[in-house]
Structure 1
Amino acid sequence: MAGIAIYIKESFGELKNNVTWPTWAEGQKLTILVAVFSIIFSLAIWGIDTVFSKAIGSYFHWING
């Protein structure tokens, strides 16, 4: 258990002393950027899924046809 406590203590020290944190404005800009790309990526996946769904549906309609 002492090893875990030392690890946590050293981790907090690392975060406090050695990590360069972004400014508030930069954090907001990056958050918006991630949100926009997430929406674009999800729309692209939705579009591809729709195309494949229609293609597979058409294939089975043709086979049973």
Structure 2
Amino acid sequence: MSKVTTYINDTVEEMRDKVSWPTYAELQRSSVLVLIGSLIFALVVGAMDFVFDSGLTWFYNQF
């Protein structure tokens, strides 16, 4: 049990003292960048899906 307690105490100390946490402004900027990147990725994948669907529908209607 002593090892578990030591592990938890060391973990708490490292998270409090040694981890460099971003400021609120940095966190907001990063969140906005992730949101924009996700939207762009979703639009690209959606466009690819539309093109493939349209192309395959056209191809199968030829027969």
**TM-score, length-normalised on structure 1?**
0.78
Separation in 2 of the partners of 1:8 and 1:39? 40
Q: Which runs of 5+ in 1 are unaligned?
A: none
The ranges of structure 1 where at least 4 consecutive aligned residues each deviate by more than 3 angstroms after the TM superposition are: 5-8
Kindly state the Cα deviation for residue 7 of structure 1 after the two structures are TM-superposed: 8.1
RMSD between aligned residues: 2.3
Aligned residues: 62
Aligned twin of 2:16: 16
**TM-score, length-normalised on structure 2?**
0.80
| Higher deviation after alignment, 5-14 or 37-46 | 5-14
Q: Which runs of 5+ in 2 are unaligned?
A: none
Once the two structures are superposed, residues 5-60 of structure 1 have per-residue CA deviations (whole angstroms, 9 ceiling, x without a partner) of 44861433322122100111010011001000100100000000000000110111
Separation in 2 of the partners of 1:33 and 1:39? 10
Aligned twin of 1:47: 47
Q: Percent identity?
A: 28
